[in-house]
Structure 1
Amino acid sequence: MNSRAIQQKIARLGAGGRLRVLDLFSGCGGLSLGFKAAGFEISAAVELDPDAARTHGLNFHPGDERHARPRDIKTKPSVLTEELGLGHHALAFDIIVGGPPCQAFARVGRSKLREIADHPEAFRHDPRARLYSEYLQYVEACAPLAVLMENVPDMLNHGGHNIAEEVCEVLGSREYTCGYTLLNAAHYGVPQMRSRMFLIAYHRNLVDQVIFPSATHWIDLPPGYEGSRAVALKLLSANDDARSAHYCKSPLVSPELPPAVTASDAIGDLPKIDARKALADGSLKRGARRFDEPIPHTAPEKITEYVRLMREWSGYPASASLTDHVIRYLPRDYPLFARLEPGDQYPEAYLCAEKMFEEALAKLQKRGEAPGENSAAWWELRAEIVPPYDPGKFPNKWRKMWSDQPARTLLAHLGKDGYSHIHYDSGQARTLSVREAARLQSFPDGFVFSGTMNPAFRQIGNAVPPLMAKVIAEQISAQLHAAISGSVRKKVSVGGGSGR
């Protein structure tokens, strides 16, 4: 069936059909949005988290509740396509994209991957492999022309295994040509230094070499990113071709390219939120942040190219007001945020807070009201000013952003506190808003997030930046269409030569 399905898909695309995407572990839809922007049709998604699944449905299939339902990856492909009215699962999709959570790969090993590939029930014996097993089953059942997998760089050196290479071995046994590499989003127009592993596979009937897109922007990445990259690539330096047979060197990045998009380029136009003022006038209160209070969009005198893209993204234009430009309630820390310098992390913040505490004690001393050291009142005052975390144990817990650099990697942990991204503007003295995080992840202003603030932050942090996905999607589209055009020309030539 699969061989016949492949040929039918090639024929359909040769006749002008659009490439259809199935997004597994889709989250809110970063990959989907990038592929849609590149001209692909987003046919279906599988996502377990209810808020993320609803976000995906709202943005890609508005009004169709079937697409907004959470689904477990164990949902059979045939059940998925039947529920969505997409016909036979082997014919419904042309490309499968997604990134199985990295826990699924923990020390599985090459022999275990082969076992999973050959025995779909193997996950019952090794639960760590279950999610990967289900991903493989979708590839096997749906016979895509291409596969895209995204994951953390550690996938190249996870517990002593190069899991990306092992994935390529399994897909190779399924007649796919594979390649993987490490790409940083800042090199592709995203205002964020986010390094990720991308693996692309094409059916051998079409493509025999994987090519990754050329960089579009320049930045000299900080040492931490280069160090993480070196650790991820450590296994590939071994004298064992089997460890890196499918690895593709990252595309060269030239200083002659346009500079990377900075944080201020990306979010500088958004309405200012003075956290201390909002706290004082009562407009900022404790409790869930719902997206039900519109804030008028500003009209800056000068608008960056990136901001224009975020406001005018095809299919997702900005409205007159923002409803998700909301921030965390952190009353203790706003005065501290105002004093931090760009690049300051938790040790610097802790020292600064200690100084603020000493200043507060001195003021009370002048009035003769200072509490006795280590008294209940003394500790109460300290708790109002100084964060409780040990600076030796949490050196990277906080970071104040630079305005003239891309943001550091946004993570799902944004859904818990947001201290990793303190706004660079000391006058606003706060952590990022939901819309600012979305901008830094390259989600356009018209993209709607389901749920309240915390789930939205988590969805954004978990997503693949749509602009990054778009660049990769365009490369995949170019290779597939070139191969299909060549296949059609070859058939025409053969047909003409036969005298028919």
Structure 2
Amino acid sequence: MKVIDLFAGAGGLSEGFRQENYEILAHVEMDKSACNTLRTREAYYYLKNQNLLNIYKDYLLQNITRKELYSFIPKEILDKVIEAEISNKTIPMIFKKIDELIGEETIDLVVGGPPCQAYSTAGKARDPNKMKDDPRNYFYRYYVRFLKKYQPKIFVFENVRGILTAQEGKVFKNIKRNMSNAGYKVGYRILNASDFGVSQFRERVIIIGWKKDLPFKYPEFNLELVPPTIRTLFEDLPRINAGESLSGENQYVIDTNEAISGIRQRNWNILTQHIARPNNDKDLTIYRLVVEAWNNENKALKYNELPQDLKTHKNDEIFLDRYKNVKYDTLSHTIVAHISKDGHYYIHPDIKQNRSLTVREAARIQSFPDDFYFEDSRSAAFKQIGNAVPPLMAKEIAHIIKENIQRY
């Protein structure tokens, strides 16, 4: 089945659907670094299908440049990535590019998650007007325009749970009405990525719509997948300290384990982006205190409990969980895009390493395979990871949709 991915980010939704053998015809995304990541992933799949993965591996090992990598890829493959903001001004151009890409093909699915900052709890907390005037409240209207234009059988729309209550529920009511007017029946659930085998507590609203003449209903998901703990998920990754990085062949410290065999793609042996951000001495002292409090007392250390000389903010009455450690023997809390700003909310559980998570560790928590490469800077990679839909969650959604469609 053929898919368009809107507001694609680094391609978490695309990756999951692709793993279920859907064909991604186009990705639309405005962020330059995310678009580079999407192109590199397109390069990966093209080379894999041509039995030329050695070229991709040469790129990861820095034997060739990105420009040289792309030189092996047909232009029509790289052109699947449409680098553009979706707006009233740009939509005609985007439609034209998609039409050129798909030719006579029909679109089976549209997937995507419009930017969610206007619906997020953190966003509302920072905005005195509770994001009521934020134009991102209405990005769903652009999504609906793609539904009207391409008339897919089914669509998947992902967002934070705050979308249900934004503006006292008016936004969500309007979303459903617009989707109905476009010709779709709509169902939604609040789903947790951990129920799909992802090592992370991450609640998201998943709206699924289907053409009104299609004998379809919101699917029942198999929510019996048991995600690996963080300890198991990180077991084969080498220890590094703050400010260090490690990459290359034969860097994993164990061959594999059952939980990470899928992430390592069973025979993958190139470690990339195991990059830890540097920290000053004050941050590292706080990190150590946070991990010690958890290890010794099973206690989450609050900001107002830090020694006075370690505090950098005058206000110690709000955001008391400013520093938070990932726990070894359970799942991670939600990875969000703020991880690109600092790692204080994602302190590594191993006190001997005393640092925040690496890019590769955050990617694994989000269920990205180790052969997935995030382009450009460390901060750009963290932002892409934090904004992504976990591919493992997307894969299960894709699987169930395909299974249900085949029944009719």
Shift of 1:24: 0.3
The reply on whether 1:331 has 2:316 as its aligned counterpart is no
Distance 1:470 1:404 in 2: 25
Match of 2:83 in 1: 70
Shift of 1:103: 5.3
2:206 alignment partner, SS class:
strand
Task: Label 1:71 to 1:318 Cα distance change in 2 as closer, same or farther (>3 A).
Answer: farther
8 Å contact 1:155–1:162 — kept in the other structure?
A: no
Match of 2:360 among 416, 435, 447: 435
Distance 1:103 1:328 in 2: 25
Match of 1:149 in 2: 157
Distance 1:205 1:181 in 2: 22
8 Å contact 1:151–1:198 — kept in the other structure?
A: yes
Task: Label 1:337 to 1:213 Cα distance change in 2 as closer, same or farther (>3 A).
Answer: same
8 Å contact 1:194–1:408 — kept in the other structure?
A: yes
Match of 1:318 in 2: 268
The reply on whether 1:261 has 2:228 as its aligned counterpart is yes
Distance 2:261 2:339 in 1: 26
Task: Label 1:71 to 1:468 Cα distance change in 2 as closer, same or farther (>3 A).
Answer: same
Distance 1:30 1:344 in 2: 33
Q: Report matched runs for 1:19-418 at 5 Å.
A: 19-61=1-43, 63=73, 64-74=77-87, 75-76=91-92, 77-83=94-100, 85-88=101-104, 91-102=105-116, 127=135, 130-161=138-169, 163-217=171-225, 258=226, 260-275=227-242, 284=244, 294=248, 296-300=250-254, 303-312=256-265, 318-320=268-270, 322-332=271-281, 333-340=283-290, 341-342=293-294, 345=300, 347=302, 351-354=305-308, 382=309, 386-388=311-313, 390-418=315-343
Distance 1:193 1:183 in 2: 10
Distance 1:126 1:267 in 2: 39
8 Å contact 1:164–1:199 — kept in the other structure?
A: no
Match of 1:6 in 2: none
TM-score of the superposed pair, with normalisation by structure 2: 0.80
Shift of 1:153: 0.6
Distance 2:406 2:140 in 1: 29
Write out per-residue CA displacement over residues 309-360 of structure 1, whole angstroms, 9 at most, x where no aligned residue. Answer: 10017xxx6333x230001111222233233333655626x64544xxxxxx
TM-score of the superposed pair, with normalisation by structure 1: 0.66
Task: Label 1:395 to 1:203 Cα distance change in 2 as closer, same or farther (>3 A).
Answer: same
Task: Label 1:261 to 1:126 Cα distance change in 2 as closer, same or farther (>3 A).
Answer: closer
8 Å contact 2:187–2:209 — kept in the other structure?
A: yes
Write out per-residue CA displacement over residues 220-276 of structure 1, whole angstroms, 9 at most, x where no aligned residue. Answer: xxxxxxxxxxxxxxxxxxxxxxxxxxxxxxxxxxxxxx4x4211121222111133x
Is there any run of 5+ residues in structure 2 with no aligned partner, and where? 45-72, 121-132
Shift of 1:140: 0.3
2:103 alignment partner, SS class:
coil
Letter in 2 for 1:478: E
Letter in 1 for 2:116: C
8 Å contact 1:186–1:192 — kept in the other structure?
A: yes
Share of identical aligned residues, percent?
Answer: 31
8 Å contact 2:287–2:323 — kept in the other structure?
A: no
Is there any run of 5+ residues in structure 1 with no aligned partner, and where? 1-18, 107-124, 218-257, 279-283, 355-381, 484-500
Task: Extract structure 1 runs of 4+ deviating beyond 6 A.
Answer: none
Shift of 1:128: 5.1
Distance 2:248 2:313 in 1: 35
1:407 alignment partner, SS class:
coil
Write out per-residue CA displacement over residues 356-389 of structure 1, whole angstroms, 9 at most, x where no aligned residue. Answer: xxxxxxxxxxxxxxxxxxxxxxxxxx4xx55446
Aligned pairs, number: 355
Shift of 1:421: 0.9
8 Å contact 1:105–1:163 — kept in the other structure?
A: no
Distance 1:33 1:338 in 2: 36
Larger Rg: 1
Task: Label 1:268 to 1:387 Cα distance change in 2 as closer, same or farther (>3 A).
Answer: farther
Q: Which has the higher helix share?
A: 1
Of residues 426-435 and 36-45 in structure 1, the stretch that sits farther from structure 2 once superposed is 36-45
Write out per-residue CA displacement over residues 154-187 of structure 1, whole angstroms, 9 at most, x where no aligned residue. Answer: 1111121164443233222333221001011111
RMSD (Å) for aligned C-alpha atoms: 2.6
